[in-house]
Amino acid sequence: MRFKMVVAVAGLVLWGGQTWAAAVDADAAQALMKKSGCFKCHAVDKKKDAPSYKEIAAKLRDKPDAEQKLYTHLTTNPKVKVDGKEERHDSLKTKNEADVRNVIGWVLSR
């Protein structure tokens, strides 16, 4: 009985982790990120002036507030350090909540 419970919980955790990839419109997310200038400083799997999306996802993915942290970061123009000096991080060029959530899902699915 205990083994079945562990297997069931593990299955739910693994299934839940896959929902990001299934729920994301990757083309729309990347188009908005390109329009917003995100790829000037970020790359998918290599560090540029800013961490790669793969690094960001690895850092945040398992945290319960990952979505909210990214939402705040992508919508409030926070200050970030670049080469030791503070700069303003641009927001996504949209006010559409679904589009922002789609980008967040794309980032976390890396």
* Among 36, 42, 75, CA closest to 57: 42
Return left, alpha or beta for 84; rule: phi > 0 is left, psi -120 to 50 is alpha, else beta: left
* Among 53, 57, 33, 35, CA closest to 44: 53
Q: At what angle do helices 97-108 and 26-35 cross, to 10 degrees?
A: 110
Mean of pLDDT over the chain: 85
The angle formed by the CA atoms of residues 15, 17 and 20, to the nearest 5 degrees, is 110
pTM, full prediction:
0.79
Alpha-carbon distance 28 to 104, whole Å? 12
Alpha-carbon distance 49 to 81, whole Å? 10
pLDDT in tens, 4-57: 444 444 443 444 444 445 589 999 999 999 999 999 999 999 999 999 999 999
- Under the banding of pLDDT at 50, 70 and 90, the label for residue 99 is very high
List domains and CATH numbers for the chain.
2-108 (1.10.760.10)
Per the DSSP assignment, residues forming a β-bridge with 87 are 80
